[in-house]
Structure 1
Amino acid sequence: MKEAAVAANRSVALPRKKLFRLPVWKRRTLSAADLFVYGAVASVLFIVLCALAPQWIAPFSPTEMKADRVLLAPTWQHLFGTDYFGRDVFSVVVYGSRDSLIIGVVSVLIGSVAGGLIGALSGYIGGIVDTALMRFIDVLMTIPGVLLALAIAAALGPSLTNVVLSVAAAAVPGYARVMRGTILSIKGRAYITASRSIGTSGFAIFWRHVLPNSLSPLFVMAAIGIGSSILTGSGLSFLGLGTIKEIPDWGALLSQGRGYLTVAWWICTFPGLAITLFVLSINLLGDRIRDHLDPKRSRA
């Protein structure tokens, strides 16, 4: 009997364990939205690499002028052609990404911090402080952001620092409004009331509970705001209010190439495509960050 039971157990085919399994990212079917997001990440990383180490990407010096290569159409040697000075347009676009990226990132940092601080103080303190700060923000919001940045840049003069400050100042009202609304929605929740009931100080409640739970909308807005800040900064440079340097940024390249649009379309076309690609990639990443931080929206 024992031998028969052993033979029967041996005859049962046990499932074999797979020794090798595909990684999760290979087993998962990629959707079109995922492909767009991965492409956006690759585009942003490439432009950041161009800004940090342009000498690794650009095949020529952005200041190298060659009289025998003026206004050459795009070829394998000059991917974006050459301009009226004989410079390689691709190299100039690569080196010009640094100033454009500085304008977008630094202005968003300054604007989000300043606007977030104003909105946090206004929403949490309330009373006359809220009234005074919000009336000031309302006055700024009556002026279109581009017009406000243009007025500030014209008053300060053309330089990279002034462009950053102008774009940041134009973005402050939006961040302040978003932060104030988030603070007001958090102040009335049950755990805030419970913290007050046990004697927790107002500053401790703000620092431990209110502020950490109110930063998510600000992060999403800042991520999307980088693209709009680059557009605004490029517009100021296009109008001649940006930085005056030997290596122009993308907005200044557009301004320099507009006079040759009918003769050499590539001088301003490729900088415009670089702005479009970067802003589109930033907006895609901002939408994905918003969906990640807002589960209800992602499920909808």
Structure 2
Amino acid sequence: MKEMVNVETTLRVPKWTLRKRKTNFSLSNLFLYTSTVVVLFIIACAVFPKWIAPFSPTYMNAEHILSKPSADHWFGTDYFGRDVFSLVIYGSQDSLIIGVASVLIGGIIGGSIGALAGYIGGFVDVILMRVIDILMTIPGILLALAIAAALGPSLFNIVLAVAASAIPGYARVMRGQMMSIKKRKFVDASRSIGTPNWRIFLWHILPNSWSPLLVLGTIGLGTSILIGSGLSFLGLGTIKEIPDWGALLSQGRGYLTVAWWISTFPGLAITLFVLSINIIGDKLRDSFDPKTR
């Protein structure tokens, strides 16, 4: 009788308690977690700058002009006596707006062009891809520079300029994904039972083709912020009391010999954010790729 009870109690033990938990910790995971923390912190700085910044970005203190980094001013002060740490936090707003908005606009327009070209094919594919090929012959920063110079300095114009430079990449990736998926067997099976083409496109092809676009958009976010900061550095960005990261770099380049911190810390913010986004994008690419799972 006791043996039967022991057998029953043994059978009732959950299987997960009998398994040994393995810790899958590696250096790549450490980079991923660190990058995620950095990105979340910068997003929090852009969304809640008043809660994080110790000073107002427009507050000027004549007694602390060009002060070195200290306990009171972590990143030092600029030539107006403004706290550089607070300027970097508030400057993240426009930089993230440029990056996110340009990725969304470029992804939607470029993805739509690539989807039409890849799914319809034929003459439509030839015309659309020749236009994309012409745009791809122009470097992205030069294309954005030309558009921003033609439209004038404003936040909306710089978003359009950066988004236009990203359209060819999204179009090419989406076209290749469409051409690959529309030849799959489940698409042929759906077409064989009389499913309309528009329903096949919306319910079968499109949902299975967005993952490479998501990876490209994640990595493109860092590139968009780099291009937007470069345009602001050249004086084609927004003209506001609170400059973005690129404008902060431009304002501090004349004081590198006497106040290196004015340009150094905005540059570090750009570098950390772009590097963290690229690490997250590489991890997403590996997770979506069945060959590396």
TM-score band, normalised by shorter chain = over 0.9
Deviations 1:145-182 (A, max 9, x none): 00000000000000011000000000000000000011
1:256 correspondence with 2:242: no
* Distance in 2 between residues matched to 1:278 and 1:213, nearest whole Å: 29
1:228 equivalenced with 2:208 (yes/no): no
Shift of 1:63: 0.3
Deviation at 1:295, TM superposition (A): 2.6
Aligned residue type for 1:123:
G
Q: Report the counterpart of residue 271 of structure 1 in structure 2.
A: 266
The aligned amino acid for 1:263 is V
Distance in 2, Cα, partners of 1:109 & 1:81: 35
Instruction: State the superposition RMSD in angstroms.
Output: 2.1
- Out of 18, 23, 38, the residue aligned to residue 28 of structure 1 is 23
Choose from 274, 285, 289 the match for 1:290: 285
What is the 5 A alignment of 1:138-153? 138-153=133-148
Correspondence for 2:179: 184
Q: 2:189 aligns with which of 191, 194, 204?
A: 194
Unaligned stretches of 5+ residues in structure 2: none
1:27 to partner: Cα distance: 5.8
Q: How many Å apart are 1:9 and its aligned residue?
A: 10
Identity of aligned residues (%): 67
Q: Hey, what does 1:103 align to over in structure 2?
A: 98
2:220 maps to a residue whose letter is G
- SS of the equivalent of 1:242 reads coil
Structure 1 gaps, min length 5: none
Map 1:115-130; keep pairs closer than 5 Å. 115-130=110-125
Matching residue within 166, 170, 175 for 1:175: 170
Question: 2:145 aligned with 1:136, yes or no?
Answer: no
- Note closer, same or farther for the CA distance 1:29–1:293 as it changes in structure 2 (3 Å cut): closer
2:52 corresponding residue in structure 1: 57
Number of aligned positions between the proteins: 286
Question: Rg: which structure is higher?
Answer: 1
Superposed structure 1 runs of 4+ greater than 2 Å apart: none
Distance in 1 of aligned mates of 2:224 and 2:29: 25
* TM-score normalized with structure 2 length: 0.93
Q: CA deviation at 1:141?
A: 0.6
SS of corresponding position for 2:195: coil
Query: TM-score with structure 1 length normalisation?
Result: 0.91
